[in-house]
Every structure is written in C-alpha cells, then in structure tokens.
Amino acid sequence: MLEEFRLDGRVAVVTGSARGLGFEIARGMAAAGARVYINGTSDERLEAAARRLQGLGVEVAVACFDVTDETLAARSLDKIACETGRLDILVNNVGVRMREPLEHIGSAELRRMLDVDLVSAFTLAKLAAPVMGKGGYGRIINVSSIAALRGRVGDAAYIIVKGAMNAMTRSLAAEFGPLGITCNALMPGGFLTETNENLKTPEMERMFKTRMPLGRAGNPP
C-alpha cells in the first residue's frame, strides 16, 4: 500500500523549507524518493537545513531565491528544469503572519502579506505549470490554514490572505486540470514550529485544550 505513495523520479520544489512545516514536507517527500529542492532566502540557513536533512537520512538540493522576486523565481525554476529535465511538484509553503487587531493593520502590511503568501504562490504556479504540462503531470500544493475558514479577533490579515489562497487554489485547479495538473490546498491547524515559539505560553496551552480535538497543538516529527 505504501508503494502507492512513492515519489521516485519526481522533482519537487518546496518554498520556505529551511525550517518548520516546509522542512518536514521536504523531508517526507525526499524520504518517499523525490528529488527535492528546498527554498529560502539565505544560503547559510538552506545549507544548514540540507545538512540537518542529510543527518536524518535524506538528500536534498538547494534553491535560494526570494519568492516575491518574479525574475529570480523564473530563473530558479528554469535552472531546476534544465538540471533535471522536469518539474513535477510545487509546494507553496512560504508565508508570513501578523497577529494584530484590525485597527493596527495598515495597507502596507497587508500588501506585504499578500505579496509573500498569495501573489508569490500565484506567480510560481504560473511559472511551473508550462513545465509540468509538457509531461502531462503536475501537483501544485498550497499550504493554507484552518484560519481561512474562521473569523476571530486579532488575526484579520492572515484570515484574509489564507481565504484568498483557498479561492485561488480552486481557480488554478480549473485552469490547469486539462494539463494533467492537480491543485490542492492543505489547511493545517496550529503547530509548534520555530515560527510559533510565542505560542508556548500557559494561556495558549489553555486555549489549545479547549479548541483542539487532542487538547494540544501539533508537534512536527
């Protein structure tokens, strides 16, 4: 049964994967046999992540570029396609978050979140689709959040952006389906990754106990 989930011969790019959920997604795909390119904006952090993954028993390649820079993104995906002859999987995981009351969120801050979390995913999907389409196979996975389905105080920007990501995913699925490319959104709940260190407080633990089915946040492997 597990053989059905093997990714041998596939080439994957996972954005924002030097740490957190992106790191774990990259690790899982590499362990399943894919040639995985981890992405970030720091060569040093990416190389450290690659070494850490090697210590966990998997090999990955590095693709250092800012997802909000369309020129660099296009150049990087072209390089990967030239090196491997293909691109099969794109995981749009990179994102930023701002937990602030609505009155503290300015237009500039919201635009920044849209650029990083949403527009970059749209751009990379458009860049990847023609390469995937040549082989008649592609998987585009957008990492959204359960926040996309909720409304709550102090998280408006994130809720807006992730709600838009879900809508975008549906549109991309319709557009790219005829090329053999599927598009899906993952909606994780709260995970205690490096970016959520601030959630490790007694107050947040009490909240998790009442709101989470298991009474706690998720822990990366």
Q: What counts of helices (H) and strands (E) characterise the chain?
A: 7, 6
Q: Is the pTM of this model over 0.85?
A: yes
pLDDT grade for 86, boundaries at 50, 70 and 90: very high
Active site residues: 158
Query: Domains of the chain: which residue ranges?
Result: 2-189, 192-221
Cβ pair 96, 117 in contact under 8 A = yes
pLDDT at 22: 93
Q: Check whether 27 has a pLDDT greater than 90.
A: yes
Topology annotation, domain 2-189: Rossmann fold (3.40.50)
pLDDT tens sequence across 126-139: 999 999 999 999 99
DSSP label at 147?
G
Taking CA 69 as the corner, what is the angle to CA 9 and CA 81, rounded to the nearest 5 degrees? 20
**Which amino acid is residue 141, in one-letter code?**
I
